[in-house]
Amino acid sequence: IGSVSDRVSIPFLTPYSSSKFALRSLTNGLRREVESQGVKVLLIEPASMKTKIWKKTIAYSEKKLSRKKSLIKIYSKEIDLFKRLLKNEEKSYLELTSLKKPLLHAILSENPKSDYLISRDKFLFKFFPCFYREKLLNLYFKIKLRVK
């Protein structure tokens, strides 16, 4: 199970996005290697799910940063932007039940899809990265984060 972050690098979640890009590459390569043996390799790519991970992430980050006052001075603007991004995204978090249908299809289908994108913003994650790449993605996140 991957994430939509394997398609678009999300601001302030660079290590997470990097790991998901790597998982996508591994999945694609492995799929091609074992396809001739009848083995199906697929990737489930959910968007942000309604779980405690986001609040835990903020709490953990604040705890770590509280020990390093010099970092707070340097990154205070970015920390505020990250919190704003998470707050803005809360309304679009998916319920865990949204995984049920795609997971069942992936497990039970004789011909599962190679990728199961589970998101309200499928256009953003499926097509936007292919056509517009980094400049427009940068603009998109500036607008979303209200950065000048």
Which residue(s) pair with 44 in the sheet?
Answer: 116
Average pLDDT over residues 13-42: 91
Higher pLDDT, residue 121 or 23:
23
Half-sphere exposure in the Cβ direction for 90 (13 Å, CA): 9
Whole-number pLDDT of residue 14: 85
Residue 121 CA: distances (Å) to CA of 63, 71, 118, 125, 134: 32, 34, 9, 7, 18
According to the model, what pLDDT value does residue 117 have?
87
Give the pLDDT band of residue 135 (cuts 50, 70, 90): low
Closest to 53 in 3D by CA, of 5, 125, 8: 5
Partners of 115 in beta bridges: 43
